[in-house]
Structure 1
């Protein structure tokens, strides 16, 4: 039963359990290498864990090729543990806002706070601003969060904003000043975290679209092509969808499969292109492939949104591995690295 419970855990929950088994110093070092989104998600998951059995912990740690010894005390004093780890990883000033956001639902101040805010809240914050300001904000944030924010806007504004992101070549001083004023007005905090830098561009626009629902993603690309056919084609060339996994070399596919929980993989490949399924089966052991095929046959109908959600998780993982240089992705056009 404990093994079954462990298999049901998603990647965020498994990471939270792993960090809770480490000492504060080691957990701190790990979290220093995480992005804002990952820290928030894993931190929130830590606070939700209760009564985790030692056997379940062992099953999860075996998947990280790690063993544990001694009794665990997961679920006891998590708030205090999380506070110490976050302060060690982020520093006391920044950690204060993160802790407030995770534990008490209070938002921190300053431009960096946007990364910790709910997508709907950020959308409301910038909705009335000029589309160029919205484009700069979304280009600055993580692509998955930007996709969620973009989904809150009407179609015409989505198209306008994503085209501005695609053609954005850094931040002009006037636009940066305007952005500073907007954030200052809303938070009355320090906006010095954002410096003039090269953000935006076709690749950023493509990454944001990759995180959107398939229907919204398709509509946006078509709308962009109607306005600017070459720009729409450039964005589409850099987009990477689930069926493109078939173009990854075997070593790259094996790297991806090692990091995907079996339950999420099962969901993702339901309804996937046969070429993708075969690529996945070919890069698993014969026994694992047969088990996955059996699970596919016996698994009942699932919501399309669940399938797409699992596929987006795997694509996000693939992009992270590509950015780290571990694998190379082949998209619809040139290589996506």
Structure 2
């Protein structure tokens, strides 16, 4: 309808069609807005309201149990609008969850107030739910991973709420922060918008559920009062009888009302002081059994035995209490049917919970058997490690240094940092606290001191999310480059390369050149070893390698090596050296490198010690 008022809806057909001739008949015309066409009838919207009233009750129970606080979800409105009308006014960053709607084609969106989302996370992380609502920030990867658990439960509630119309299997598809990543339908597409008011002790917010028309279109024939009430599950006749039999055993206060003769207004006005008024007695008259302030049965007297009366239903041949089910008051039938439905739902819930409990028991039993096997077969130390460290909260993070963990905690909330730090060893926790900015240290300590219980599932989810972030980080800081790397490269480089590098650095960076030379060890440095160490090297290496490596060195170094042998062996070595003749420098370098490697090996074994001279 346009904004001109109801009278604007009365137009002549000639005005609508542009006809100039006279037309006697008038038509009631509704102006149609093609930019925002109504695709859902009031009855369909009413049915969706009923579905989400049930959903809000389920969500209230789920949130209160998960967050250990009194949280309430109340249906606020159900409306239809275009997708763009809903998305455009939303601020960013925000919390959007996109889900598949199998077996329906398409996706739905669940949008949660960011402030309420952060309050939920604070509660899950052991806080009291106090946050600064003026701060708007994106959720971190670890926060998203925990919030996903909340939405998985919400999707389960959605499935149960829609179960009367369809076996819906919503599945989490993605979680987004910005509206441009949530374009599940064209901007002009009509949607059904369900708004819930989320109330918590800290305040209240909104949660919006977006169902595109194309998604719910196959369900439109079922969105009716007839289908809604017709699909309600009712208890069987056997269940109703069982409930009725049980109800008979429940004691309750009741009244037996006996009707007396009718008094007219004139008779009441004529009553005088001292006049006797006969009270009704239970003789042959009918009486009424009243319970709960409501007349339940009309009874008649069968016989009187002293102070006891035997009664029966008026018009029934059997006295009351004989077990006749045919006389059950029809007014109790709706209540009995409702109780039967509740019992059936409770039975299904208990069956599901018992199934989950059975799975957990089997899991624990399997872990116990595995642990017992490992202990029996001699792997007790590893089993104890798994039991004591890896199985404890955040146990897998304890092998990482604080420097590897700090970058990922820099932008997290104080409550999340407090939760992680509280589950680490005191030494590692102290290093992380020291690495935090000074303005955050006191806040983290305060959160640790006031922390409440945290569900093990939340700790496990956080730990897995943190490990994913640390996947590319090493447990030990890897040393890349440095003097040791330069020395290692030059020690295996050709002698000409080594000489060129050292001489160039002596001209440009003399301090660096001295540092490298102080840490380098080449074949010529064998004279720095004591006699016993040189003998150990000679015994380890090939005699030919020793002679070839001595070709380019000075005579003083050769004589120092020859002097370590007795006269006969020294003579044989000199003769072998003389027979070598001319050698390629590359061959001498290779032989010298093999001897240097042997020296390094002996040093690693602790058999010799290399003492390098200090740079002057």
Q: TM-score range by the shorter chain?
A: 0.3 to 0.5
The structure whose Rg is larger is 2
Greater fraction of residues in strand: 2
Greater fraction of residues in helix: 1
**Which structure exhibits the higher relative contact order, with contacts defined as CA atoms closer than 8 Å and separated by 6 or more residues?**
1
